[in-house]
């Protein structure tokens, strides 16, 4: 009976409060603005949302973002453009 009443000690002391604090700040700084963004987009309607996402300025930002990340992707995969071309021709 005595063993049931004893409290087990954690390997990581303070893990519970630290996890709670981290998740609270994640929700406050990341999830709350994303929810506001989704609510704002939902108030536009489908046609206005489509116009906003396919505007010239938005398309240019997509090209810049994905174009800048593409060389990083090739480096991560250890494939250089020349190797990719040879791989695709084969």
The torsion region of residue 55 among left (phi > 0), alpha (psi -120 to 50) and beta comes to: beta
pLDDT at residue 32, as a whole number? 92
Model pTM?
Answer: 0.47
The whole-angstrom separation of Cα 21 and Cα 60 is 38
How much is the average pLDDT of 6-31?
87
**Taking a C-beta distance cutoff of 8 angstroms, is the pair 58, 52 a contact?**
yes
Distance between CA atoms of residues 41 and 33, nearest Å: 12
For the chain, the structural domain boundaries read 13-43, 45-90
Question: CA 90, CA 85: separation in Å to the nearest integer?
Answer: 9
- Encode pLDDT of 42-85 as tens digits: 898 889 989 988 999 999 999 888 888 777 766 666 655 555 55
């Amino acid at each position: 009976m005595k063993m049931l009443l004893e409290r087990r000690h954690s390997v990581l002391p303070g893990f519970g409060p630290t996890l709670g604090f981290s998740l609270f700040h994640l929700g406050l700084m990341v999830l709350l603005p994303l929810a506001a963004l989704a609510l704002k987009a939902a108030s536009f309607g489908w046609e206005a949302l489509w116009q906003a996402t396919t505007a010239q300025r938005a398309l240019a930002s997509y090209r810049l973002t994905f174009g800048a990340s593409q060389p990083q992707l090739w480096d991560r995969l250890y494939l250089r453009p020349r190797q990719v071309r040879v791989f695709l021709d084969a």
